[in-house]
Amino acid sequence: MPPIKRTKFKLAPEQLLEMFYWLKLIRAFDERLSILVKQGKVRSGVYTGIGQEAIIVGTCYGLRREDFICPLHRDLGSFLMKGVEPRVMMSQMFGKVTGLSKGRDSALHSGVDELGIFGNTSMLGSNLPVAAGLALTFKMEKTDNVVIAYFGEGASNTGDFHEALNFAGVQQLPVVFICENNQYAYSVPSEKSMAIDDVADRAHGYGFDGVAINGNDVLAVYQATLGALARARGGDGPTLVECKTYRWHGHSEHDKAFYRTDEELAMWKSRDPIPTFTTYLRTRHVLDDAKQQEIEGKVKTTIDEAVDFAMNAADPAPEDAVTDLYA
């Protein structure tokens, strides 16, 4: 595997604080969802990305509105960063008319073309050919927009993964493939679903580079993504960036995750991306108590408001069960 491209970057304090805000907001969004499930208020399957936030923040932070993302089920945060209002996203989880699906589905199953967000089906891996198709149009137009496509290490075992990455390699498409390797696909540890350590190695079978990085370090993710984005925007084709991480919760909120040890979880909790980044900001005097309180306050207000909005929003009308099927 080639060494990680060390792209130089400089982020202004406000930018670092913005990243901090996103980390906090995304964490809070998922944590609230988890509570809402336990309260029986959200009935959707909820697959939190708690513990994995650095990946979303690090990969989405450098994106333009025109760039497209193709998220996976743990990536609701990427919808927010790409411009979906928290109240809309929360409505989506409640199945209300104010959600992206107008109640037809929940979670990631809806997108916004104008914001560059593709909303996938549940079929793992099936977002990747779509990502290639989006990227193909950017190549056709000779723009320097890009597509970021996310997938779990488990999904990297699907046929669609292979067909999509191969096509992207052949066509040198402007797409960055982000593997969120959280060690498990539902209950199955990655060593029982692939005989390799790094999903990044698969990139070489498609003629482009793959790198494995610390997915819990938001700046490392940002840096690796920057390099991959630069390559893609410059017409040099795809990159696979594998972010090693861990999900704190079960596969879904209904999964007790007996298949892993408390020690393993504790070890990974000690690598929580948020405190790490907080310390980084504090030692550099970008963040102080006041700023942190202000940001945490804003996060709380935003989430509270989103939940209120969603809970008070209307259910769809029964008649709409059969509309919006055909254009």
Partner 1 sequence: MGKELSYLEAIREALAEEMRRDPKVFVLGEDVGAYGGAFGVTQGLYDEFGEMRVVDTPISESAIVGISIGASLRGYRPVAEMQFADFISCGFDQIVNQAATLRYRYGGRSAVPIVVRAPSGGNVGGGLYHSQNPEGWFIHRAGLRVVAPSTAYDAKGLLKAAIRDDNPVVYFEHKYLYRRVKGPVPDGDEIVPIGVAATRREGSDITLLTYGAMALPSLDAADRLAKEGVEVEVIDLRTLLPYDRDTIFRSLEKTSRIVIVHEDVKTLGLGAELAAVIAEERFDRLDAPVVRVTYPDTHCPFSHVLEAANLPNADTIADALRRVAAY
Ligand X SMILES: Cc1ncc(C[n+]2csc(CCOP(=O)(O)OP(=O)(O)O)c2C)c(N)n1
Q: Considering only residues 38-67, where is the footprint of partner 1 by CB under 8 A?
A: 43-45
Q: Are 181 and 213 in contact (CB under 8 A)?
A: no
Instruction: Check binding of 202 to its own copies (CB under 8 A).
Output: yes
Among 192, 269, 284, 298, the residue binding its own copies under the rule CB under 8 A is: 192
CA 189 to chain centre: 20
Subset of residues 124 to 153 that bind ligand X, contact rule: CB under 6 A: 124, 152-153
Q: Are 189 and 152 in contact (CB under 8 A)?
A: no
Among 182, 216, 225, 239, the residue binding Mg ion under the rule CB under 5 A is: 182
Instruction: Check binding of 181 to its own copies (CB under 8 A).
Output: no
Instruction: Check binding of 184 to ligand X (CB under 6 A).
Output: yes
CB 266 to partner 1: min, Å: 21
Q: For the stretch 41-54, what's the b/e string if a residue is b when 16 or more beta carbons lie within 10 angstroms of its beta carbon? A: ebebebbbbbbbbb
Instruction: Check binding of 193 to its own copies (CB under 8 A).
Output: yes
Q: Are 24 and 80 in contact (CB under 8 A)?
A: no
Instruction: Check binding of 215 to Mg ion (CB under 5 A).
Output: no
Q: At what angle do helices 86-94 and 289-312 cross, to 10 degrees?
A: 40
User: Which two structure tokens, joined as six digits, stand for 305?
Assistant: 């408001």
Binds 280, which of ligand X, partner 1, its own copies, none (CB < 5 to 8 A, cut-off by type)?
A: none
Q: Are 200 and 230 in contact (CB under 8 A)?
A: no
Closest of 11, 1, 2 to residue 222, by C-alpha? 11
Closest of 192, 131, 134, 180 to residue 156, by C-alpha? 180
Instruction: Check binding of 325 to partner 1 (CB under 8 A).
Output: yes
Q: For the stretch 118-136, what's the b/e string if a residue is b when 16 or more beta carbons lie within 10 angstroms of its beta carbon? A: bbbeeebbbbbbbbbebbb
Binds 123, which of Mg ion, its own copies, ligand X, none (CB < 5 to 8 A, cut-off by type)?
A: ligand X
Instruction: Check binding of 15 to its own copies (CB under 8 A).
Output: no
Identity of residue 318 = P
Subset of residues 158 to 177 that bind its own copies, contact rule: CB under 8 A: 158-163, 166, 169-170, 172
CB 139 to its own copies: min, Å: 14
Question: By CB under 6 A, which span of 22-30, 60-68, 184-192, 231-239 interacts with ligand X?
Answer: 184-192
Among 26, 54, 149, 155, the residue binding ligand X under the rule CB under 6 A is: 155
Interface residues with ligand X (CB under 6 A) are 74, 122-124, 152-155, 158, 180, 182, 184-186, 251
